[in-house]
Amino acid sequence: MTPYLLCESPSPGVLLLTLNRPERKNALVHEMTNAFIDAIEASNDDPDIRAIVVTGAGGNYSSGGDLTEFQQLDLRTDPPVGQRMMEALNDATKPLIAAVEGLAVGGSATMLLHFDLVYAARSARFRLPFTHLGTCPEGASSYYLPLIAGYRKAAELLMLGEYFGVDTASEVGMVTQATADGEALQRALASAQAIAAKSVDSIRLTKMLMREGHRDAVRRVIAREHGLFTERLHSPEVQASVAAMSSRSKVPT
């Protein structure tokens, strides 16, 4: 198991996954993402896991994909690791609950669209910066955001790609509830414990019935998005944009 992902069981039936690269604001790298995929997939058949909570170490959820890996095109897999992560979330059978403090940017923001409950601190900041990089939406954000937020609000968030706060995230349906700073994890764990205490079959069927009308369509959109994302990533325009953004900051945003 990588040190970039911490796996704990804070209470019976609850799996807590912590993205753990605080010095890089938990930017996603292949090693971390592969471990995350393995944990989600393993939970599907583990009767001891009834709910999963995901959070980030050091006061941030995640600043998104590490731009240094975006520049290392030889690391790209087929399918891309980001695509496999979103597919694992789409196929997850256990309730997924996020606790967001600080930044949730790029892929770490779009992954929240696959969660069942999302609790975010008042000071949390979100961003879908794909047009700033010259890429395109990923993680089924082009499907879910128009669905839950309406087309025009989704267009604003995806086309302008600016930061937005927890009030907007709540308004468009990305966040279940805002919490005081430092209390998102506590609230997420409380909900996970409440779910873990309920009938396993009842929770499983409830999630299945709510998600099954979208699951196949979401899988198709994820594959389409990530294919186009990879094409754009190989373009000189995007590589120049990524290099410029990397040079401006040691932490990708």
* Residues 6+ away with beta carbon under 8 Å from 121: 100, 101, 102, 166, 178, 179, 180, 181, 182, 183, 184
177 three-class SS: strand
Q: By C-alpha distance, which of 135, 88, 87, 89 is closest to 232? A: 135
CB 55 within 8 A of CB 202: no
Return d(Cα 31, Cα 86) in angstroms, integer. 16
172 three-class SS: coil
pLDDT tens profile 66-96: 998 888 887 788 899 999 999 999 999 999 9
The confidence score (pLDDT) of residue 78 equals 87
The confidence score (pLDDT) of residue 90 equals 98
The confidence score (pLDDT) of residue 246 equals 79
Q: What is the pTM of this model?
A: 0.95
CB atoms within 10 A of CB 218: 23
Q: By C-alpha distance, which of 25, 21, 30, 130 is closest to 73? A: 30
CATH topology of domain 5-184: 2-enoyl-CoA Hydratase; Chain A, domain 1 (3.90.226)
The confidence score (pLDDT) of residue 252 equals 40
Those residues of the chain that have pLDDT short of 70 are: 249-253
The confidence score (pLDDT) of residue 54 equals 99
